[in-house]
Structure formats: structure tokens, C-alpha cells
């Protein structure tokens, strides 16, 4: 992959799908470089998927730097773990669609001014020490499935037209401090 990206130079990309199945901890820095290189190639649609046995294999953590892209319009992330910094999409002004599939969140806030479509599906896990706030004031469509942890708090969304919210009940699904 290193050679493929280098041979391309900085030629623009419309779509890039990185399906990273079965990786070792020492390969993660290379994978992060591939992602940043693809972003520098002005990719419009980026899909980043990992797969494997997540009971034993490490979840891919993209780091503590925010994503920066003036061109990215659609981002799909599957089987990853996130912290606060990466989920600040203020440096992605063209981002309109964001999909999380089977991800873990250890964050206080997910934010984007430009998002119109936001989806959390297939066993998304949220923390149990504080609520994740979702700030997306221009959101039109929301799909939110919470499998574990405290249900996220939705901030003001005046443009919201369509929403599906599914909370799979568990002892940790309550709002935290307000009873059951």
C-alpha cells in the first residue's frame, strides 16, 4: 500500500475504501499514514473498515488529532474506537454524511456544523462515566442505535426531519443520575 500511494503522488481521489482485516499493533502507525495521505489527495468519500475477532484483536484507534479535510463529503468508519479529539469535525467543512458502524466511543462530544446525515449502527458502545454530546445543528437525518453505555445527549437540531433511535436496554442504558 505504501508503494501504491507513493506512485499515485498527490493525484485527487474520489473514493477510497481501506478494509484493514487482521493487523498487528506495530502496523497501526502505517495505517494512520495511509489515512492522512488519502486525505491529502483530496478524497471525497472515505470508508475505513477493520474486521477480526474484537474480543482478542485490538480496535483501531485513530489517535488524538482531529480529522482535517476541506474536501471530504462522506466518511464511514467501522469497528473503531474514538476519543474526543478525532470526533471534532470542525476542520471538515464539506462533510455531509458520517456513518459509524460497530464502534466504541470514549468521548464527551461529537461535533460538526456541516453534517446532514449521521448514523450509529450495529452495536455502537458509549461510555459509562459521562454522556457523549452530539452537536450537529444542520442535521437532517439521524440513525442512532445504542448497544451499551449511557445514551448520548442530542443538542439542538432545528433542521432534523427524520430520526430513528434504538436503545438496547441494559443496566447502563439509563441516563445516569436521573434514575431508570
Residue 145 φ then ψ, to 5°: -115, 120
| Cα distance between residue 53 and residue 96, in whole Å | 31
Q: What is the dihedral of CA 113, 117, 123, 127, to 10 degrees?
A: 10
Query: Which of 8, 25, 24, 20 has the alpha carbon at shortest distance from 47?
Result: 20
Grid coordinates representing 47? Answer: 470508508
Would you state the pLDDT for residue 145? 92
Residues of the chain short of pLDDT 70, as ranges, are: 22-24, 51-65, 84-85, 169-180
Q: Give the strand pairing for 97-101 and 74-78.
A: parallel
Would you state the pLDDT for residue 59? 56
Query: pLDDT digit string (tens) for 156-180?
Result: 999 999 999 998 865 555 555 554 4
| Angle, vertex CA 43, rays to CA 40 and CA 45, nearest 5 | 145
Would you state the pLDDT for residue 56? 44
Amino acid at each position: 500500500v505504501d508503494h501504491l500511494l507513493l506512485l499515485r503522488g498527490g493525484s485527487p481521489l474520489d473514493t477510497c475504501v481501506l478494509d484493514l482485516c487482521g493487523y498487528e499493533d506495530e502496523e497501526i502507525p502505517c495505517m494512520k499514514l495511509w489515512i492522512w495521505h488519502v486525505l491529502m489527495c483530496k478524497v471525497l468519500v472515505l470508508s475505513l473498515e477493520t474486521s477480526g475477532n474484537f474480543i482478542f484483536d485490538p480496535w483501531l484507534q485513530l489517535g488524538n488529532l482531529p480529522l482535517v479535510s476541506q474536501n471530504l463529503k462522506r466518511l464511514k468508519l467501522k469497528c473503531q474506537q474514538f476519543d474526543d479529539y478525532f470526533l471534532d469535525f470542525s476542520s471538515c467543512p464539506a462533510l455531509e454524511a458520517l456513518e459509524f458502524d460497530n464502534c466504541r466511543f470514549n468521548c464527551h462530544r461529537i461535533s460538526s456544523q456541516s453534517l446532514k446525515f449521521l448514523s450509529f449502527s450495529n452495536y455502537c458502545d458509549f461510555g459509562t462515566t459521562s454522556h457523549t454530546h452530539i452537536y450537529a445543528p444542520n442535521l437532517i437525518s439521524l440513525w442512532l442505535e445504542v448497544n451499551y453505555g449511557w445514551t448520548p445527549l442530542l443538542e439542538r437540531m432545528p433542521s432534523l426531519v427524520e430520526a430513528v433511535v434504538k436503545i438496547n436496554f441494559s443496566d447502563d442504558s439509563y441516563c445516569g443520575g436521573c434514575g431508570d
